[in-house]
Structure 1
Amino acid sequence: MKIALDAMGGDFAPKAVVQGALLASKEVSKDTTLVLVGQEEAIRAEFTEGIPANVEIVDAPQVIGMAEHPTKALSQKPQSSISIGYQLLKNKEVDAFCSAGNTGAMLVGAIFSVQVISGVLRPTIISHVPKLDGSYGIILDVGANTDCKPEVLAQFGEIGAMYCQHVFKTDTPKVALLSLGEEEQKGNLHTQAAHQLLKKNERLNFVGNIEGRDLFNESADVIVCDGYVGNVVIKMAESYYEILKKQQYSNPFFDNFNYEVIGGSPVLGINGNVVIAHGVSNDKAICSAIMLSERLTQAELYQKIQHSLKEQNN
């Protein structure tokens, strides 16, 4: 297995990325190789004690800045670390690609390189949600699609359920729709219509609507919402950890809200394994993003989504 890593992506690249790769090189499976993509000279300069045997470097002389327009940057910088990373993924030279760089460029690159799985209405970004019992659920979408039709929300339920089944090994994940009331007639028009579609789907263990107060208990494994709501939710959740940290309070549950623990957000619904890490990622977060990429690859998740949708359309 090979995992490509954008060495130039993030506020603290390439130093934090290289240090994160060094941490991960000691934790990944014996057959896993890490491929650092970026300006080779700058990357090598960060390896003060030599390059591990399971780390490779692929030169990419150009860099896409965090504030650059995604589509323009990708077309104008074909030799950027993100562009070359996606080329490697598209050509099956690597099995996964992760970056803490320009989120928009990562999304656009995914759609136009490895492309969307046939039958997927919209690719989605997910985030892990800590639960009070120590386990994790997921919430989707968290930023890729701010406005979603009912059919898209309903499909998010299916894609999310497959993630929990194959990555978390949850046999029959509970799927819920995030709304402003538990009753099925509550919510906006799209939420109400999505509820009916999810309710009729016999492939899902749909448990109905949940409210914001149920996010972190055992009510659901998969929480479905549009990207606008999802992004607000996860940013608020991240603030819990930061507030408690400033108050010098530590708690095992709230410590799981630290972005370093998971490392990144997988992009689902595309023909490849892609993880987008936080722009402020440090070495621990980068290491976690790499480990998550390895788990996605081992689970063969996107291939199983492909197979499931193909069966449904036959």
Structure 2
Amino acid sequence: MRIGLDMMGGDYAPLEAVKGVKLFLDTVADVHLVLIGDEQALAPLLADARLDQSKYSVVHSSQIIGMNEHPTKALKEKPESSISIGFHLLKNGKIDAFISAGNTGAMMVGTFYSIKAIDGVQRPTISTPVPRENGTFGVLLDVGINADCKPENLVQFAILGSLYSQYILKIDNPKVGLLNIGEEEGKGNLLAQATYPLLKETKQINFVGNIEGRDIFTDKADVIVCEGFTGNVVLKMAESFHEVAVRRNIKDDYMDKFNFESYGGTPVLGVSHPVIIGHGISQATAFKNMIVLAQQMIQSKLLEKVKESFVAKEA
């Protein structure tokens, strides 16, 4: 198993990326990491970390895509950037997964134009883990890349989220809920009203009906489906819970779970290879957890399950 990591992406790279690599390699033996970045910048940091050199290799990149650069333009004009090289390696089978906390737009453009969506998937999606009061996690999707959706898109998000919940979060027969402004069928805007009957008819999921905002952090649904505009608002609000707790010096185990570092990054679901996008302010723990997630996606054969599911749906 070979996992590629953009060492130059993120506000605290490459130092925090190297620290995350060390945290991971200190506990895992059967994964080879391909570290993509400026060799001159990485060399002293890797030497200080005293890593087992048999567990990683470095692929040099001479360019960096900045956080504020135009994604498409940057990928075209910077073929030697760490993100461009990462997608080239992934597309050509040199790595099994690619991770970056760099320019999110460039990661999305690279994903869509390098490795493509799985046959049958209309729109790939991104999700976020949802900490629940009982100590488990649910999953919310879409959380930002599909601000406007059609009902059929939300049905596919439900299928993708169910598979992720089953094979990564280890939830049997995950319950799917449609995020809405009321529990009753027929509630909501035109999108929600049109989506409900489609979800109800979809045999590949365990649809439990509408759920409201107050249900998000309970176990009423394991997979919560919405369009990316609403999902991103919920995500950013949830992240603020941890920030408020830190500012007010509130020590609470549950609030700690809203720290994005605890889960690292979000996978792009519905594409043919594992791609994980990290927060721009990712530090060591986040980088380590993104690598762990990539490992879980590969070991669980999640993408093979997605392909099988959409072949069955098309049939």
> TM-score, normalised to structure 2's length?
0.97
1:40 matches 2:42: no
Structure 1 residue 27 displacement after superposition:
2.4
- 1:2 is matched with 2
Other-structure match for 1:243? 244
2:289 corresponds to which letter in structure 1? S
Q: Which runs of 5+ in 2 are unaligned?
A: none
* 1:246 CA drift (Å): 1.2
Q: Which amino acid aligns with 1:43?
A: L
Q: Separation in 1 of the partners of 2:198 and 2:310?
A: 17
Give the whole-Å Cα distance in 1 for the aligned partners of 2:223 and 2:213. 13
1:257-311 alpha-carbon deviations (Å, 9 max, x no partner): 0111000011100000011111001111111111111111111111211111112
Task: Map 1:284-295 onto structure 2 (within 5 A).
Answer: 284-295=285-296
Counterpart amino acid of 2:22? Answer: L
Query: 1:295 and 1:273 mapped to 2: Cα distance?
Result: 10
Aligned partners of 2:139, 2:22: CA distance in 1, in Å?
28
C-alpha distance in 1 between matches for 2:227 and 2:146: 6
Task: Give the equivalent residue in structure 2 for 1:175.
Answer: 176
User: Match for residue 61 of structure 2?
Assistant: 60
Q: Size of the alignment, in residue pairs?
A: 313
My pick for the range that moved more, 46-55 or 173-182, is: 46-55
1:22 maps to 22
In structure 2, give the amino acid aligned to 1:9: G
Note the C-alpha offset of 1:50.
Answer: 3.4
User: Helix, strand or coil: the match of 1:120?
Assistant: coil
Can you list the C-alpha shifts for 1:21-76, whole angstroms capped at 9, x where unaligned?
A: 11111123x22011110111111121224342312111111110000111111111
TM-score by length of 1: 0.98
Identity %: 50
Unaligned runs of 5+ in 1: none
Distance 1:261 1:59 in 2: 29
Shift, 1:18, TM fit: 1.0
Aligned to 2:129: 128
Query: What one-letter code is carried by the residue in structure 1 that aligns with 2:35?
Result: L
After the TM superposition, which parts of structure 1 deviate over 4 Å for at least 4 consecutive aligned residues? none
Q: Measured at CA, do residues 269 and 49 of structure 1 come closer, stay the same or move farther in structure 2, by a change above 3 Å?
A: closer
Structure 2 distance, partners of 1:256, 1:56, is 33
SS in 2 for 1:117: coil
* Partners of 2:2 and 2:264 in 1: CA distance: 18
Mapped contact 2:151–2:195 kept (Cα < 8 A): yes
For residues 185 and 103 of structure 2, the distance between their equivalents in structure 1, rounded to whole angstroms, comes to: 38
- The alpha carbon displacement at 1:91 in A equals 1.2
Deviations 1:73-121 (A, max 9, x none): 1111111100111111111111111110000110110111111111001
Q: CA RMSD, aligned part only?
A: 1.0
CA drift of 1:176 comes to: 0.4
Amino acid at match of 2:203: E
Listed as ranges, the matches of 1:220-299 within 5 Å are 220-299=221-300
The 8 Å contact of residues 99 and 291 in structure 2, kept in 1 or not, is answered as yes
Residue 186 (1) aligns with residue 211 (2): no
